[in-house]
């Protein structure tokens, strides 16, 4: 079974920006809006976790 390529921070952030643009331009109907907001929330959580992990790594290097 092939594994899905892990999304990078930059890819996740770009997708959040795309979703935000769609929300701001009223491109989405209500049903799609709910799905988009949930996806953006998941992506933002992924970004926070990625930043936290990088911060911990940098702290180890600095210490």
Sign of the CA dihedral running 30, 31, 32, 36: positive
pLDDT of residue 15: 97
Residue 23 corresponds to which tokens in the numbers above?
């929300």
Per residue in 6-28, pLDDT tens? 899 999 999 999 999 999 999 88
Contacts of 19 (CB under 8 A, 6+ apart): 36, 37, 39, 40, 43
Percent of the chain with pLDDT over 70: 94
Give counts: helices (H), strands (E), the chain.
Answer: 2, 0
pLDDT of residue 63: 86
Question: In this model, does residue 1 exceed pLDDT 80?
Answer: no
pLDDT of residue 4: 56
């Amino acid at each position: 079974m092939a594994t899905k390529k892990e999304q990078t921070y930059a890819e996740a952030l770009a997708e959040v920006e795309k979703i935000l643009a769609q929300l701001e331009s009223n491109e989405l109907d209500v049903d799609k809006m709910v799905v988009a907001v949930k996806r953006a929330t998941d992506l933002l959580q992924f970004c926070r976790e990625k930043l936290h992990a990088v911060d911990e790594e940098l702290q180890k290097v600095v210490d």
